[in-house]
Amino acid sequence: MTTRMVIIGGGPAGNSCATTAARLGAEVVLIERDTIGGAAHLWDCIPSKAMIAAGNARSFVQRSMRMGLSEVATDVDLDQLRERLSTLEGRLEGQIRSLLASQQVQFAHGTGTLIDPHTVRATTADETIDFEADVIVLATGSRPRLPDWAPIDGVRVLTTRDAYPPPTLPEHLVVIGSGVTGVEFVHMFQSMGSEVTLIVSRQQVLPAKDPEVAAALEEDFLRRGVRLLKGARAVEIRREGDEVTVDCDDGRVVTGTHALLAIGSVPNSETLGLDRAGVHSEDGYVPVDVNLRSNIEHIYAAGDLSGRLPLSSVASIQGQKIAEHALGALSVSRRRVIDYDKASSAIFTEPEIADVGLAEADAFSEGRKVRVTKVPFAASAKAQINDDPRGFVKIVSDPATGVVLGGSIVGRHAAELISVIAVAVSNGLTVADIHESALVHPTLAEALREAAE
Ligand SMILES: Cc1cc2nc3c(=O)[nH]c(=O)nc-3n(C[C@H](O)[C@H](O)[C@H](O)COP(=O)(O)OP(=O)(O)OC[C@H]3O[C@@H](n4cnc5c(N)ncnc54)[C@H](O)[C@@H]3O)c2cc1C
């Protein structure tokens, strides 16, 4: 008998689950209330990286003047930028829609809710359809956390979702939150020409990252004129005319023209009808087992809603794994369950930052013996050709076996280069495996070979 699967949410988790399940022979319905591609395409990964790409292009052109090119204008045209983001989003949505259609996934545009453990209702503007399901996948994602002390208006007091781009380019942006999202927005707007102040609640930006990596980013921010307000927590935002004032808990006050909040997210689950199907939740997240099943055997949760590593890349793999598990096809993949500790991640600042696996600082705090090798890009011919010697490659390995346990890269194209270490970490490769690979010269990747020596 054909398995009927109903998925709520068309982000990376829902889409990847839908296409994998359809390929494995299930009858799949995908319910999405907004845009296929999810928040990842509409608000998060794609527009933020497209804005960053524009800022990087501007910095690159400005730097190129040192490489013998004559001066060119680098003004930011917000209308053109807005148009580009919208074209990009439309194109990517079209690609996913065609992929889903080619796999015969039925698409229902509406809001999905659980009616009982085997029925999902899709409510559209003019009709209500009930779908019976053998397997239900909840992949409704998350949205920015909105504190009650911030008068968000989308004009001067912004969430990340109001920033693509905002109505006017901030003259002075105050960014609240110094995690991955916060520092990416600092970089984005500074490289477009805004003055930026970052409120850092701890003593280090990126508190969860390797201190050496965070220090490299802080150094770069300071060189670029970003003001860091450390050890301060924003408690109130006041808007007066064209000015926005942020009060901090230690009495410090910052006044800018705009404020942007990047203080985390909350899951989209309040209206899902979890209770009607008996699905447990904790703080709105749906706890899952290693196979991503909720407490109800045939109801799975994936992506940000599962409360695991909130990354688009992880959400996609989770979606795939759910389809394989639900359809009894886990043996088609080499790995049956996801090892979240081996997921790589990146921060698209400039220099870029990327890491995977065990960090040096974590090994140290766990009292674990590791070998750490570090090579600065300053020694790389390609970095010198690029006129950008910032950053380094660091590889953490087992001193007895040489097996690569983790690594961090700070520098240009770090998000691409980390893939080499990620493949090594996921597959138990050794430093010798990396060192003995003949890589292209001149490239930044050669620094990986050296760090693996
Ligand atoms: C600013 C920012 C930048 C980021 N950049 C990156 C990055 O560069 N790389 C990376 O890997 N991750 C990035 N992330 C994280 C990434 O966006 C998320 O981890 C990812 O979107 C999670 O995918 P998802 O499928 O769980 O949910 P989403 O992408 O949020 O999709 C969920 C979908 O469900 C829909 N939905 C919700 N409720 C219902 C309902 N009841 N009925 C029907 N549809 C519903 C929503 O409309 C949405 O389309 C970023 C996050 C932020 C905030």
User: 63-72, 118-127, 428-437: which has the minimum mean pLDDT?
Assistant: 63-72
Q: CATH topology of 157-263 equal to that of 351-451?
A: no
Q: Is the CB of 139 under 6 A from ligand 1?
A: yes
The answer, yes or no, to whether any atom of ligand 1 lies below 6 A from the CB of 414, is no
Per residue in 243-253, pLDDT tens? 999 999 999 99
pLDDT score recorded for residue 347:
97
Instruction: Write 128-135 long-range contacts (CB < 8 A, 24+).
Output: 131/4, 131/6, 131/29, 131/31, 132/4, 133/4, 133/5, 133/6, 133/29, 133/298, 134/3, 134/4, 134/5, 134/298, 135/3, 135/4, 135/5, 135/6, 135/26, 135/298, 135/299, 135/300, 135/326
Question: Taking the alpha carbons of 439, 343, 414, 217 in that order, is the dihedral positive or negative?
Answer: negative
Residue 330 has pLDDT above 80, yes or no: no
Whether residue 122 has its Cβ less than 6 Å from ligand 1:
no
**CB of 310 closer than 6 angstroms to any ligand 1 atom:** yes
Question: Using a 6 Å cutoff on CB, does residue 182 contact ligand 1?
Answer: no
Summary mean pLDDT of the chain:
94
Mean per-residue pLDDT, 411-419: 96
318 lines ligand 1 (CB under 6 A): no
Q: What is the pLDDT of residue 149?
A: 96
What is the average per-residue pLDDT within 234-238?
A: 97
Q: Over range 52-63, report the average pLDDT.
A: 90
Percent of the chain with pLDDT over 70: 99
Position 336 scores a pLDDT of: 79
The domain segmentation of the chain, as residue ranges, is 4-143+267-332, 157-263, 351-451
**Choice from 140, 183, 306 to test ligand 1 binding pocket (greatest atom count within 8 A of CB):** 140
- pLDDT tens digits for range 260-285: 999 999 999 999 999 999 999 999 99
Residue 99 confidence (pLDDT) above 80: yes
Ligand 1 contacts CB of residue 38 (under 6 A): yes
Mean pLDDT, residues 149-162 taken together:
95
Q: Assess whether pLDDT exceeds 80 at residue 341.
A: yes
CA of 16 to the centre of ligand 1 (A): 13
pLDDT tier at 232, thresholds 50, 70, 90:
very high
pLDDT, one tens digit per residue, over 6-48 is 999 999 999 999 999 999 999 999 999 999 999 988 889 999 9
> CATH code for 4-143+267-332?
3.50.50.60
Q: pLDDT digits over 194-223, tens only?
A: 999 999 999 999 998 989 989 999 999 999
User: What CATH architecture does domain 351-451 belong to?
Assistant: 2-Layer Sandwich (3.30)
Q: What pLDDT, on a 0 to 100 scale, did the predictor assign at position 70?
A: 79
Predicted pLDDT at 332: 65
**pLDDT score of 416 more than 70:** yes
Q: Which of the listed residues 109, 271, 312 should we mutate to test ligand 1's pocket, taking the one with most ligand atoms within 8 A of CB?
A: 312
More confident position, 135 or 351? 135
Model confidence at 176: pLDDT above 90: yes
At residue 69 the predicted structure's pLDDT band, cuts being 50, 70 and 90, is confident
Residue 181 in contact with ligand 1 by CB distance below 6 A: yes
At 167, the pLDDT band (50, 70, 90 cuts) reads: confident
3-state secondary structure the chain: CCCEEEEECCCHHHHHHHHHHHHCCCEEEEEECCCCCHHHHHCCHHHHHHHHHHHHHHHHHHHHHHHCCCCCCCCCCHHHHHHHHHHHHHHHHHHHHHHHHHCCCEEEECEEEEEECCEEEEECCCCEEEEECCEEEECCCEEECCCCCCCCCCCCEEEHHHCCCCCCCCCEEEEECCCHHHHHHHHHHHHCCCEEEEEECCCCCCCCCCHHHHHHHHHHHHHCCCEEEECCCEEEEEEECCEEEEEECCCCEEEECEEEECCCEEECCCCCCCHHHCCCCECCECCCCCCCECCCCCEEECHHHHCCCCCHHHHHHHHHHHHHHHCCCHHHCCCCCCCHHHCCEEECCCCEEEEEECCHHHHHHCCCCCEEEEEEHHHCHHHHHCCCCCCEEEEEECCCCCEEEEEEEEECCHHHHHHHHHHHHHHCCEHHHHHCCCCCCCCCCHHHHHHCC
Is the shortest distance between the CB of 12 and ligand 1 below 6 Å? yes
- In this prediction, residues 154-166 reach a mean pLDDT of 94
pLDDT tens digits, 283-310: 999 999 999 999 999 999 999 999 999 9
- Name the residue at shortest CA distance from atom 52 of ligand 1: 44
Residue 438 has pLDDT above 80, yes or no: yes
Give the pLDDT of residue 125.
Answer: 84
Question: 157-263: which CATH topology?
Answer: FAD/NAD(P)-binding domain (3.50.50)
| Cα-to-centroid distance, 404 and ligand 1 (Å) | 31
Distance 303 CA to ligand 1 centre (A): 8
Distance in angstroms (rounded) separating the CA atoms of residues 403 and 244:
51
Q: What is the pLDDT of residue 73?
A: 78
